[in-house]
Amino acid sequence: MPNIPFGLGRFETRSGSRFDGAVIGERSVAPLDTLDPSWSRISDLFPDWSRNIDRIGSEIDSIEATHSLDDLRPLPPVEPTQILQAGANYRTHVIDLHVADAPADSTPEQIAALRAEVGERLDRRARTGTPYIFAGLPSALCGAQDDIVLPTHGERPDWELELAVVLARPAFRITPEEVDEVIAGYVIVNDLTLRDRVFPADVGRIGTDWVASKNAPTFLPTGPWLTPSTFVDDPGTLDIRLTLNGSVMQDATTADMIFNVRQVVAFASQIVQLGAGDLVLTGSPAGNGAHHNRFLQPGDVMESEIAGLGRQRNRCIAESAAPSAVTSEPLAATR
C-alpha cells in the first residue's frame, strides 16, 4: 500500500488543453504520461489497477508535479458508460421524509412514535430487503467547480450530496464480499434533483420520472478527483457535509446508510452488467432542500465535502445566463 495518499483526476488548463493526472498533496498535479508514457487516461490504469496504484505510490516522492491545482479546472475524473444510483438509503433521511408527511396537528408524542415505527420498518428492510436502484445519464456530469445551470423545466432544484463508487473492473452478479476486488475508488457526487418533476401529475401510480428530475446538464457535479480505495479505510464511517451560502444543510456520516457500500454495489451488479469506469451512487443523507423547504436559486453557492475525498464548490446560475456548452467552457469563463 502506498504511504502517501494521492488522487487521480482529469483537468483543464487556462488555455483549454486537457489532461489526466495524479493529485499530490491536494495542491499539485503531475500528468499521467510523465509517470508512464503509456498512460494518457485514468482508464489506462484500470486493467491492472492495484499494481498501477502501488507503482505510483512507490514513486510519489520522486514525482515532479508540473501544475498547481489552483491553475486548473477539475473535470469529472471518470467518463462512465453507466451511472447507477441508490435512493432512500439513509435512515434519518427516510424517517424525516415520513415525518414531513405527518398531519400538521401531530403532537410531539405522535411524531416520536412515527419516527420509531418508520425506524423499525427500515431496520427490517436492512435485514431482509434490497437497495432501491435507478439509472442516471452521463450527460448530466460536470466538474467540482463548475456552475450549476438551473433549468427552465423545473422550479424546485434540490441538492443531494453522495459518496460514489468508481469501478475498475467489470462486475456482474458479484457478492458483497467480492466488491472490494472490483472497486477503483471513491468520488464526491452531488445528485441534484428537480423535486417538482419527480412525480408527474398525469402519470399517477405508474411511477417516478428520474430522467426529467435528475438529468439536466450540470446536475451531477463529480470530483474533484478519484481517491483510490486503498486510501479509504472504511467507506462506512466518512463524514459528509454540504453548506449553502455558508449555512450547513447536510452534516452526517455514511454510517447512517441502510445498505452499505458493498451491499449497494453488489445489488446493482445483480441486475446490470457494470463496467470499468462506471459510477455507483450510494444515496444522500438527511438535510436536502425539501427538508429545509429551501430550494436552489441563481447566485446560490454550494460547498460540499466528504472526508478525505476533496471538496466541491458550485455556483448556481439561471439557464438564460449559461453558456451554450457549459461543461466545455475554458477555465477562465467559470470563475
pLDDT per position as a tens digit, 180-234: 999 999 999 999 999 999 999 888 767 899 999 999 999 999 999 999 999 999 9
Ramachandran assignment for 169, one of left (phi > 0), alpha (psi -120 to 50 degrees), beta (any other): beta
> Beta strands of the chain (E only): which ranges?
6-12, 18-24, 28-31, 67-68, 73-75, 83-87, 132-136, 141-142, 148-150, 157-158, 161-167, 183-190, 193-194, 220-221, 227-228, 239-244, 247-253, 279-281, 301-306, 311-318
pLDDT, position 326: 55
Tell me the torsion sign for CA atoms 124, 103, 200, 211: negative
- The confidence band for 28, taking pLDDT boundaries of 50, 70 and 90, is very high
pLDDT, position 327: 45
pLDDT, position 205: 66
Q: Which residues contact 99 (CB under 8 A, 6 or more apart)?
A: 111, 114, 115, 118
CB 198 within 8 A of CB 213: yes
Amino acid identity of residue 167, one-letter, is L
Among 59-68, 214-223, 321-330, the least confident range: 321-330
pLDDT, position 333: 42
Looking at per-residue pLDDT, the higher value among 305 and 1 belongs to 305
Please report how many Cα atoms fall inside a 13 Å half-sphere around the Cα of residue 300, on the Cβ side: 21
| Candidates 3.30.1360.200, 3.40.50.2000, 3.60.20.10, 3.90.850.10; CATH matching 83-89+132-334 | 3.90.850.10
The grid coordinates listed for 246 are 455558508
Distance CA 144, CA 190 (A): 9
- When the pLDDT of each residue in the chain is averaged and rounded to a whole number, the result is 93
- Residue 293, pLDDT above cutoff 50: yes
What percentage of residues in the chain have a pLDDT greater than 90? 86
Q: Which of 20, 8, 21 is nearest to 65 (CA)?
A: 21
Distance CA 230, CA 7 (A): 11
Among 23-37, 235-249, 286-300, the least confident range: 23-37
CB 295 within 8 A of CB 156: yes
> Which letter does DSSP use for residue 147 in this model?
P
pLDDT, position 23: 95
- Residue 334, pLDDT above cutoff 50: no
Identify the residue whose cell numbers are 454540504: 242
Model confidence, pTM: 0.93
Identify the residue whose cell numbers are 470563475: 335
- Residue 101, pLDDT above cutoff 50: yes
Looking at per-residue pLDDT, the higher value among 62 and 242 belongs to 242
